[in-house]
Amino acid sequence: MNKIIPIGADHAGYELKEAIKKVFERKGYQFKDFGTNSKDSIDYPDYAHPVANYIEDHPDTLGIVICGSGNGINMTVNKHQGVRSALCWTVEISELARQHNDANIIALPARFVSQDLAVEMVEKFFTTSFEGGRHANRVNKIACN
Protein backbone atom coordinates (compact mmCIF):
# COMPACT_ATOMS: atom_id res chain seq x y z
CA MET A 1 0.00 0.00 0.00
CA ASN A 2 1.14 3.50 -0.83
CA LYS A 3 1.97 5.39 2.35
CA ILE A 4 0.50 8.63 0.99
CA ILE A 5 -3.11 8.56 2.13
CA PRO A 6 -5.72 10.82 0.55
CA ILE A 7 -8.10 12.15 3.18
CA GLY A 8 -11.10 14.45 3.11
CA ALA A 9 -13.78 15.51 5.54
CA ASP A 10 -16.60 17.94 5.96
CA HIS A 11 -16.94 20.32 8.90
CA ALA A 12 -18.40 17.58 11.15
CA GLY A 13 -15.42 15.35 10.38
CA TYR A 14 -12.70 17.99 10.60
CA GLU A 15 -11.57 17.23 14.18
CA LEU A 16 -11.56 13.47 13.61
CA LYS A 17 -9.59 13.94 10.39
CA GLU A 18 -6.94 15.92 12.25
CA ALA A 19 -6.76 13.34 15.06
CA ILE A 20 -6.33 10.46 12.60
CA LYS A 21 -3.62 12.31 10.71
CA LYS A 22 -1.71 13.00 13.91
CA VAL A 23 -1.71 9.34 14.98
CA PHE A 24 -0.74 7.93 11.60
CA GLU A 25 1.88 10.57 10.78
CA ARG A 26 3.72 9.29 13.88
CA LYS A 27 3.65 5.84 12.24
CA GLY A 28 5.29 7.16 9.08
CA TYR A 29 2.23 7.74 6.91
CA GLN A 30 1.89 10.88 4.84
CA PHE A 31 -1.41 12.47 3.90
CA LYS A 32 -2.72 14.25 0.87
CA ASP A 33 -5.26 16.36 2.76
CA PHE A 34 -8.09 17.59 0.56
CA GLY A 35 -9.70 19.48 3.46
CA THR A 36 -11.76 20.90 4.94
CA ASN A 37 -9.54 22.85 7.26
CA SER A 38 -12.02 24.12 9.84
CA LYS A 39 -15.37 23.44 11.47
CA ASP A 40 -17.06 26.05 9.25
CA SER A 41 -20.04 24.58 7.40
CA ILE A 42 -19.19 23.32 3.90
CA ASP A 43 -20.54 20.88 1.29
CA TYR A 44 -18.99 17.40 1.67
CA PRO A 45 -18.92 16.60 -2.09
CA ASP A 46 -16.34 19.36 -2.55
CA TYR A 47 -13.93 17.31 -0.41
CA ALA A 48 -15.09 13.81 -1.37
CA HIS A 49 -14.57 14.05 -5.14
CA PRO A 50 -10.86 14.97 -4.91
CA VAL A 51 -10.20 11.96 -2.64
CA ALA A 52 -12.04 9.68 -5.08
CA ASN A 53 -10.15 11.14 -8.05
CA TYR A 54 -6.87 10.50 -6.25
CA ILE A 55 -7.84 6.86 -5.62
CA GLU A 56 -8.78 6.41 -9.28
CA ASP A 57 -5.37 7.82 -10.32
CA HIS A 58 -3.49 5.74 -7.70
CA PRO A 59 -5.21 2.33 -7.61
CA ASP A 60 -2.84 0.83 -5.00
CA THR A 61 -3.77 3.52 -2.49
CA LEU A 62 -6.26 3.45 0.36
CA GLY A 63 -8.15 6.59 1.38
CA ILE A 64 -10.24 8.04 4.18
CA VAL A 65 -13.37 10.18 4.06
CA ILE A 66 -15.31 11.52 7.04
CA CYS A 67 -18.57 13.35 7.58
CA GLY A 68 -21.12 13.52 10.38
CA SER A 69 -23.00 10.32 9.54
CA GLY A 70 -20.51 8.97 7.03
CA ASN A 71 -23.36 8.46 4.57
CA GLY A 72 -23.21 11.52 2.35
CA ILE A 73 -19.47 11.46 1.81
CA ASN A 74 -19.56 7.67 1.26
CA MET A 75 -22.31 8.00 -1.36
CA THR A 76 -20.31 10.70 -3.13
CA VAL A 77 -17.03 8.80 -3.44
CA ASN A 78 -18.86 5.65 -4.53
CA LYS A 79 -20.08 7.49 -7.66
CA HIS A 80 -16.53 7.05 -9.01
CA GLN A 81 -15.95 3.83 -10.96
CA GLY A 82 -12.56 3.11 -9.39
CA VAL A 83 -13.81 3.46 -5.83
CA ARG A 84 -15.18 0.90 -3.41
CA SER A 85 -15.86 2.83 -0.24
CA ALA A 86 -17.17 1.20 2.91
CA LEU A 87 -19.01 3.01 5.68
CA CYS A 88 -17.54 1.53 8.87
CA TRP A 89 -18.55 1.79 12.50
CA THR A 90 -16.79 -1.26 14.00
CA VAL A 91 -13.32 -2.73 13.64
CA GLU A 92 -14.79 -5.98 12.32
CA ILE A 93 -16.65 -4.15 9.54
CA SER A 94 -13.49 -2.29 8.51
CA GLU A 95 -11.63 -5.61 8.35
CA LEU A 96 -14.35 -7.34 6.32
CA ALA A 97 -14.57 -4.37 3.95
CA ARG A 98 -10.95 -5.03 2.97
CA GLN A 99 -11.02 -8.86 3.14
CA HIS A 100 -14.25 -9.47 1.25
CA ASN A 101 -14.95 -6.28 -0.72
CA ASP A 102 -11.47 -4.97 -1.54
CA ALA A 103 -12.64 -1.57 -0.28
CA ASN A 104 -10.16 1.19 -1.08
CA ILE A 105 -11.75 3.98 0.97
CA ILE A 106 -12.99 3.86 4.54
CA ALA A 107 -15.85 6.24 5.32
CA LEU A 108 -16.23 7.22 8.96
CA PRO A 109 -19.25 8.66 10.80
CA ALA A 110 -17.62 11.33 12.98
CA ARG A 111 -20.69 11.94 15.11
CA PHE A 112 -21.09 8.25 15.99
CA VAL A 113 -17.59 6.89 16.71
CA SER A 114 -14.92 7.90 19.18
CA GLN A 115 -11.47 8.98 18.07
CA ASP A 116 -9.99 5.82 19.56
CA LEU A 117 -12.42 3.59 17.67
CA ALA A 118 -11.83 5.51 14.44
CA VAL A 119 -8.07 5.02 14.79
CA GLU A 120 -8.56 1.29 15.44
CA MET A 121 -10.78 0.96 12.37
CA VAL A 122 -8.32 2.81 10.13
CA GLU A 123 -5.43 0.71 11.46
CA LYS A 124 -7.33 -2.51 10.72
CA PHE A 125 -8.36 -1.19 7.28
CA PHE A 126 -4.75 -0.30 6.40
CA THR A 127 -3.31 -3.62 7.59
CA THR A 128 -5.89 -6.03 6.14
CA SER A 129 -5.48 -7.52 2.68
CA PHE A 130 -8.12 -8.54 0.17
CA GLU A 131 -8.62 -12.31 0.32
CA GLY A 132 -9.46 -12.67 -3.36
CA GLY A 133 -10.72 -16.14 -4.20
CA ARG A 134 -14.50 -16.35 -4.23
CA HIS A 135 -14.68 -12.65 -3.32
CA ALA A 136 -12.80 -11.52 -6.43
CA ASN A 137 -15.59 -12.57 -8.80
CA ARG A 138 -18.12 -10.62 -6.71
CA VAL A 139 -15.96 -7.50 -6.55
CA ASN A 140 -15.44 -7.67 -10.32
CA LYS A 141 -19.24 -7.44 -10.77
CA ILE A 142 -19.58 -4.17 -8.81
CA ALA A 143 -18.69 -1.71 -11.60
CA CYS A 144 -21.51 -0.59 -13.90
CA ASN A 145 -19.47 -0.36 -17.09
C-beta of residue 16 within 8 angstroms of C-beta of residue 9: yes
- The answer to whether residue 100 is catalytic is yes
Of the listed 49, 58, 80, 100, which one is catalytic? 100
Residue 142 CB contacts under 8 Å (≥ 6 apart), including other chains:
84
Helix (H) or strand (E) holding 105: strand 105-109
Whether the CA torsion 8, 13, 15, 17 is positive or negative: it is: negative
Amino acid code (one letter) for 8:
G
Residues assigned a catalytic role: 100
